[in-house]
């Protein structure tokens, strides 16, 4: 364990948020996420609120006992006009402070508006597609927008500092730390100053490869390592033949997360997948 990881001393009962990202991206993702949420394998769902599929499937999501939030998007247009850049370019632009801050804020507002219109309520949380919410300029605009829109109680936010990574392969540890280095510290500091809540630490980072067996092995490690208050990210979709790359891996994630016996195994490990509010009790 490195010095920047939290001590792995956890409570007997460990409550974690299990959050599926990318709801609204396509029908296979939405079907898989809704199925896992109904089976109580998920406790949070991050939504691409400007995507056409989100508008179609929001009513089904509204019925479920999960936190639903805005998966803030600045990298994939999904048929919509707006400020969307490839991730490396977006990172460079935000660190150089060359984006139009007004345009950034308006894009955040549009995504919050779209979520509220479809879901009939404010989001439970905000995070970022490809973790863009923590980048400079975007995070600055986000905190200003949240303070204006939700002055009494804002949504909880995703903190990307990695949790315990015992047993996780070195390249995946490195990826988790790179994600955190792009803004986890300043983001958490700004959240605390704004009085907004975050998860304790973050799990689920990997290379989206290896099929069901690789994901099963990693999930076991993440869950064994999880501490009370952590968040586990996942990207499931209904499996289908002929898919490759990340699309195929999404199906593999679904297979693992839906497997019989997972609930019982988590229970024996003292793990509970809960909505964020349950971790505050």
Extract the tokens encoding 103: 């345009």
**Residue 9 maps to a domain:** no
Number of domains in the chain: 1
In whole angstroms, give the CA distance from residue 112 to residue 122. Answer: 8
Span 252-273, average pLDDT: 95
**Residue 205 maps to a domain:** yes
pLDDT band at 242 (very low <50, low <70, confident <90, very high): low
pLDDT band at 10 (very low <50, low <70, confident <90, very high): low
pLDDT band at 5 (very low <50, low <70, confident <90, very high): very low
Q: Are strands 156-157 and 125-128 parallel, antiparallel or unpaired?
A: parallel
**Residue 8 maps to a domain:** no
Span 39-56, average pLDDT: 97
Q: H/E element holding 19?
A: strand 14-23
Span 66-87, average pLDDT: 96
**Residue 3 maps to a domain:** no
CATH number at residue 243: 3.20.20.370
**Residue 21 maps to a domain:** yes
**Residue 24 maps to a domain:** yes
Span 105-123, average pLDDT: 98
pLDDT, position 184 = 98
**Residue 2 maps to a domain:** no
> Residues 35, 100: contact at Cβ < 8 Å?
no
- Per residue in 118-172, pLDDT tens? 999 999 999 999 999 999 999 999 999 999 999 999 999 999 999 999 999 999 9
**Residue 265 maps to a domain:** yes
* 67 SS3 class: strand
pLDDT band at 9 (very low <50, low <70, confident <90, very high): low
From the number of C-beta atoms within 10 Å of its C-beta (0-12, 13-18, 19+), residue 242 rates as exposed
**Nearest in space to 251 (alpha carbons), one of 241, 267, 236, 272:** 236
> Residues 206, 172: contact at Cβ < 8 Å?
yes
- What single DSSP character describes residue 279? G
Residue 51 belongs to what domain range?
14-278
pLDDT band at 1 (very low <50, low <70, confident <90, very high): very low
């Amino acid at each position: 364990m490195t010095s920047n990881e939290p001590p792995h001393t956890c409570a007997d009962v460990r409550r974690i948020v299990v959050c599926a990202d990318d709801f609204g991206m396509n029908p296979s993702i939405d079907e898989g996420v809704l199925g896992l949420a109904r089976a109580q394998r998920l406790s949070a769902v991050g939504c691409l609120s400007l995507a056409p599929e989100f508008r179609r499937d929001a009513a089904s999501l509204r019925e479920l006992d999960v936190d639903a939030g805005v998966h803030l998007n600045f990298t994939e247009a999904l048929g919509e006009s707006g400020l969307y850049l490839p991730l490396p370019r977006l990172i460079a632009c935000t660190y150089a402070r060359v984006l139009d801050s007004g345009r950034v804020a308006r894009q955040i507002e549009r995504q919050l508006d779209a979520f509220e219109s479809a879901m009939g309520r404010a989001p439970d949380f905000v995070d970022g597609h490809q973790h863009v919410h923590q980048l400079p300029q975007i995070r600055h605009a986000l905190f200003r927008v949240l303070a204006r829109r939700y002055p009494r109680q804002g949504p909880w936010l995703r903190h990307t500092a990695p949790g315990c990574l015992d047993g996780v392969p070195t390249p995946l540890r490195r990826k988790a730390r790179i994600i955190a280095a792009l803004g986890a510290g300043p983001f958490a500091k700004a959240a605390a100053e704004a009085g907004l809540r975050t998860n304790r630490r973050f799990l689920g980072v990997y290379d989206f490869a290896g099929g069901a067996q690789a994901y099963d092995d990693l999930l076991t490690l993440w869950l064994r390592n999880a501490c009370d208050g952590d968040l586990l990210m996942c990207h499931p979709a209904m499996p289908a033949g002929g898919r490759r790359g990340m699309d195929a891996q999404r199906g593999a994630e679904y297979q693992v997360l839906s497997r019989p016996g997972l609930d019982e195994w988590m229970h024996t490990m003292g793990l509970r997948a809960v909505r964020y509010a349950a971790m505050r009790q």
